Amino acid sequence: MAALRVHLYRYRHPDGAEKDWAYPVRLAPNTFTAFYGRTGAVLRQADTPAIRCRGCDPASEAQARVQEKLAKGYRDLGEFWLAADRRQLT
């Protein structure tokens, strides 16, 4: 995987630990992909086929998940490049 442009969201726990959640700026038409994990660690990848997305649409799934994350207290950090190693965000 080459570097990928993603929308990044970050949650800060009361103890100071942070975790990230991101999804590609350019969504695939047949799959919703999310990246998640502790800030600074290699982010895990989870793929949801379009047939399992809300409305069978990855864009609708992305918007619904963003609203869920914001409701949980995640902050929108904007767009970043996720390196091929899925660790570096620039």
User: How far apart (Å, rounded) are the C-alpha atoms in residues 59 and 39?
Assistant: 25
Mean pLDDT score across all residues of the chain: 97
3 state SS of 65: helix
Question: Whole-prediction pTM value?
Answer: 0.95
DSSP label of 41? S
Burial pattern 57-82, b for ≥16 Cβ within 10 A else e, equals ebeebbeebbeebeeeebeeeeebeb
Read off the pLDDT of residues 37-79 as tens digits, 9 standing for 90 and up: 999 999 999 999 999 999 999 999 999 999 999 999 999 999 9
HSE of 84, CA atoms in CB hemisphere, 13 A: 2
64 φ, ψ to 5°? -65, -40
The domain defined by 4-77 folds into q64v53_bacfr protein fold (2.20.140)
List the chain domain ranges.
4-77
